[in-house]
Each structure stands twice: as C-alpha cells, then as structure tokens.
Amino acid sequence: MTYHDDKTKTLTTAHGAVPLTRRYYSCDPCKTHSFPIDSTLGFEKSYTKIARRFIARCCALGAYRVAADNLRELCGITLSHTTIGKIADETAAEMEAILASSSVFREIFQKAKGKVEFYVDGTCVHIRNADGTHEWRDMKTGALVKRESGPSSKPEEYGTRELPEPTVVSAFAAIESKAEFQERCQKERRRLGVGGVSSTLADGAPWIWSLAKAVFGKTDECLDIFHALEHVSDCGKVLHRDAESSKTWFERMRLVLLSEGFAGIDRELQSWEEALKGRSNKLKRESVMSLRKYLGRHRDRLNYCERLAAGRVIGSGLIEGACKNLVGRRLKQTGACWRVERANRIAVLCAALYSDQWRRCWNATH
C-alpha cells in the first residue's frame, strides 16, 4: 500500500472531542485502503472505549435527554439522542455476548456465600409494534441471588430485624413470552452453574410458580409478605370504616399471619364470615371470602414463622426494586414508547447496573 494523503477524523473521548489527522494508505490494484494508526491505537470507531462506557451508563440511568445533558455537562460531549441510543445498543449487545460466554461470572457466583434464592416479577412497558400499533407489554424480570441466613427472629420482631445483604446478585430482564423467558431462566441457571434454589419468592401470579417449578423443580415457595398484607389491608378497610379500627384489625391479622400462616388467618376469617351472614353485610362477607380464597391458593407459601425463625427473607423487595427503581424508572418515562428490541437492549444495561456486574462485565467485554 502507498501513502495517499492525510485525512482528518473527530474522535469522541471521555474528555470531549479530539480532532485527529492521520495518514491514508491505498492500493489501487486491490481497491483497498486503510488508516494504520487507527488499528495501532484502537481508534477504528469514532468513540473511545471509555466514552462508550460513559454513554451507555448515562443511557441506562436516564432518558435520552437527561443522558445527553449529563454527557455535555460532565464530559463536554455533545451527542444526539439517536447516536446515544445506537452506542448503547452496540454496547449492550457486546455485554450480553460476554455474559453468555465468560466463566468469570460463574466463578464469582459459585464462590459467593449463602443459599440461592430465585426472584421473579414484571412491569408493563409501553411498546410500539412494527405495524404502528401501541400496547403495554410485560417486561419479565428475574434474579438469582445468594444470601446468608440472618439471626432467628420472632413474628413480632419482623419489622425491626436486619437481614444480611446478598453476597451476589445476577439479574436479567426482557419483554418476551413465558416460554421464552423460561428458556432465558434456564440459560441463566446453566451460565451460573445453579442446580437448584432454596427459595422462590414472588407475588401471587400463577405463571411465576409454574415457571420456577419447570426450571428448578421443587423449591421452598414463599408469597411476598407485602403482597399478602396488601390484600389483608384491603379487606380491613371494607370491614372497618374508620381508619383507627382498620389499622388495629390489620396489625392483629398481620401478627396472626406471621405466627400461624394460613391455618391461623383462615380460622380468623372463617369466624368473620360466619358472623357476617346476612344481606346487610354482603359486601363485607364477600371481601372476607375473597381474602380467604386468595390466601387459600397460597396456603403452602405462607410459612413465614418458620422462615423468620431460620433467619430467611420473606419479601421479594429485591426484585420489586429492580422492576420499579431501575428497569421501570428507565423504560417507563412519561410519554416513552419503545420498540421491543431497543427496550430489551436497555434492559441488559439496567440489569448489569443492578447486579453490580457493570465493571466486571465492561472489563471483560472490552
């Protein structure tokens, strides 16, 4: 190849735009050309590795407008929303590929202390389909977690006890069918070398329990205590019109549920149901019957007392936080409407941040 001339290029770095002038070489017979210095210094793309890292992180944490403002303010980089989205997409694809192939994350998960817990939930995201129609679709979110047991506690100590933080978290999310997400969970299980899990924690959605059973077999299933108590609270508001009486009833029923599980609260609700027989109490009786039916479907998932005594978690707040505070906060911006592919790419970045895998994943990817 022979030297042809000098050509300019603007390289976007973490410290702003840098104009470069480098030699252009060409071979007329072969119809090829190159900039040798680009390959030598790793400047094949118009954005440095650290710049792409900052861009992808800002995109995962906030709307495109906010990401553009932060990049301009903190790095002196001025980029369009389209460019930010494109770079975030490319980075997410690289991260997803390395997550699937690298053994680093498997080793980290295996070495972490504690029992394996499985969390699943979902949050609706506004989607624009290829035919131009709009709809809300469920972004399913899962997490495999290791956590050591905490000190044993009694039901009345539930509100004040402190559990150890997870030793490792691996989260993942995508808008896809149950069958597709089930396969994603299988891949995640194999990727991390997880045979079975000690607990499955979730809200009352039937698809979650069937998915967990299909992926991990029989596990110790636990209905999220906050979802259970939400139904108890709703019933109490129907039974007692004044707030003070409703609160007193709720606190008593909460202690019964935490102490005796389904047997205890079913006994209490059955007494209420018998006492409310009559047309004038139809609404109250129906509310009690509805609560009995809901908790009855989860009778084997209400072993809160045993779990408290063993120092184990009884709430699915970890996955609720992933859905609401990270995935939901990013993808459910006011007026936001996503293509499924783009939403799933952003979810990869969000999951890496939530799992504390960002640095390891970035370093492995780049």
pTM for this prediction: 0.87
Q: Tens digit of pLDDT for each residue in 180-232?
A: 999 999 999 999 999 889 999 998 889 999 999 999 999 999 999 999 999 99
All residue ranges of the chain with pLDDT < 70 are 279, 364-366
Would you say residue 30 lies in a domain?
yes
Q: Specify the pLDDT at position 363.
A: 76
Q: Does residue 270 share a domain with residue 210?
A: no
Confirm whether 74 is domain-assigned.
Answer: yes
Q: What is the DSSP letter of 311?
A: T
Give the per-residue pLDDT at 140: 94
State residue 314's pLDDT score. 94
N-to-C CA span, the chain: 30
Q: Give residue 231's pLDDT.
A: 95
Residue pLDDT, tens place only, 47-96:
888 899 999 999 999 899 999 999 999 888 899 999 999 999 999 999 89
Is residue 128 located within the same domain as residue 90?
Answer: no
Same domain, 126 and 218: yes
The residues facing 140 across adjacent strands are 122, 174
Whole-number pLDDT of residue 3: 86
Domain boundary among 277, 301, 325: 301
**Would you say residue 307 lies in a domain?**
no
DSSP 159: T
Q: Please, is 62 exposed, middle or buried when counting C-beta atoms within 10 Å of its C-beta (0-12, 13-18, 19+)?
A: middle
One domain for residues 117 and 176: yes
pLDDT score recorded for residue 366: 53
Regarding whether 43 and 87 lie in a shared domain, the answer is yes
Q: Are residues 199 and 324 in the same domain?
A: yes
Shared-domain flag, residues 209 and 264: no
33 and 63 in a single domain? The answer is yes
Do 42 and 59 lie in a common domain? yes
In a domain, 310, yes or no: no
Give the containing element (helix H, strand E) for 27: strand 16-27
Residues sharing a CB contact under 8 Å with residue 230, sequence separation 6 or more, in sequence order: none
**Structural domain boundaries enclosing 78:** 2-100
Asked if residue 308 belongs to a domain, the reply is no
My answer on whether 249 and 208 are in the same domain is no
- Domains in the chain, number: 3
Residue 29: the pLDDT is 87
Do residues 117 and 264 both lie within one domain? no
What are the CA-CA distances from residue 185 to residues 119, 123, 170, 215 (Å)?
Answer: 11, 17, 11, 7
| Shared domain check, 234 and 85 | no
